[in-house]
Amino acid sequence: MARDVILATEGLTKEFKGFRAVSEVALQVERGTIHALIGPNGAGKTTCFNLLTKFLQPTAGSIRYKERDITGMKPADVARLGLVRSFQISAVFPHFSVMENVRIALQRRHHGDSFDFWRPEKVLRRLNDEALALVEAVGLTEFRDTLAVELSYGRKRALEIATTLALDPEMLLLDEPMAGMGHEDVERTAQLIRRVSKDRTILMVEHNLSVVASLSDRITVLARGQVLAEGDYATVSKDPRVVEAYIGAGHA
């Protein structure tokens, strides 16, 4: 069976002053799947994310997205190709309202670059309906005019997802979308992720293993910067090396 790979890395390596945070990682993400990247703390998951979205430049190796080598590209340009990320520390524009947060993403998607300093802000109002629909989708309608900085943690994450979706990305990279969320929020966010994954590819880092188990089609386990195991949840969770990495890391 030929695999339809949307994102692939080869020998991806990142060294920080002699320390290898990510070492020779070969990752293949299939189009239309939810792929999870898990591993104990310090396994290099976030570094991996930063490499894939070009926020960090790899020391060695290559990254291909949709058959295209993106290893040397700038982060903003990668985002423009439809590979959009979220951040572990919730990334919202704190002094923008919920609507404005979503609208700034819509503005990028529909207007491209906005160097039109001579035009009134009013021209952005036509994005309001679309922005509101996205705000509704993540259950933030009643907070539409609230400043992002005043939202609870879980709602900030929801807003971040709405903002990311506003770009209508082909592929989403979610860095711990459930981190710090209460039980209710986790369930809602999981449903949201499942819903938006319909015609998209998602690669996510997540600690909540039950979420990973229920959401992901494929799991890659990282430990000490290297790929330890790969497969579906049943395969991976039975792998003795994975068990050892988790237990070992927890009790060493």
Partner 1 sequence: MADSATLDAAPIAAARPESRDDRALHRKVFIGIAVLLVLAPLVLYPVYLMKVLCFGLFALAFNLLLGYGGLLSFGHAAYFGMASYISAYGAKTLGFTPEVAILAGTVTAAILGLIFGALAIRRQGIYFSMITLALAQMAFFFSLQAKFTGGEDGIQAVPRGDLFGVISLADDRVMYALVAVVFFGGLLLIYRIIHSPFGQVLKAIRDNENRAVSLGYRVNQYKLAVFVLSATLAGLAGATKAIVFQLASLTDVHWSMSGEVVLMTLVGGMGTVFGPIVGALVIVTMETYLAQFGAWVTIIQGCVFVLCVLLFREGIVGLVARLIRKPL
Which residues lie near partner 1 (CB under 8 A)? 50, 53, 55-56, 74-77, 79-80, 84-87, 91-97, 100, 104-105, 107-109, 111, 113-121, 123-124, 145, 147, 149, 163, 167
- The distance of closest approach from Cβ of residue 123 to partner 1 in the complex, given in angstroms and rounded to an integer, is 6
- Cβ closest to partner 1, residue 64 vs residue 80: 80
- Cβ closest to partner 1, residue 103 vs residue 218: 103
Measured distance CA(9)–CA(230) in Å, rounded: 14
- Cβ closest to partner 1, residue 23 vs residue 46: 46
Measured distance CA(88)–CA(90) in Å, rounded: 6
From residue 21, give the alpha-carbon distance in Å to each of 6, 48, 79, 107, 137: 24, 9, 24, 36, 37
- Cβ closest to partner 1, residue 36 vs residue 78: 78
- The distance of closest approach from Cβ of residue 166 to partner 1 in the complex, given in angstroms and rounded to an integer, is 8
The residue whose two tokens read 């390596």 is 13
- The distance of closest approach from Cβ of residue 98 to partner 1 in the complex, given in angstroms and rounded to an integer, is 10
Alpha helix locations (H) across the chain?
45-52, 75-80, 98-111, 128-137, 153-166, 183-196, 209-215, 233-238, 240-251
- Cβ closest to partner 1, residue 120 vs residue 240: 120
- The distance of closest approach from Cβ of residue 239 to partner 1 in the complex, given in angstroms and rounded to an integer, is 32
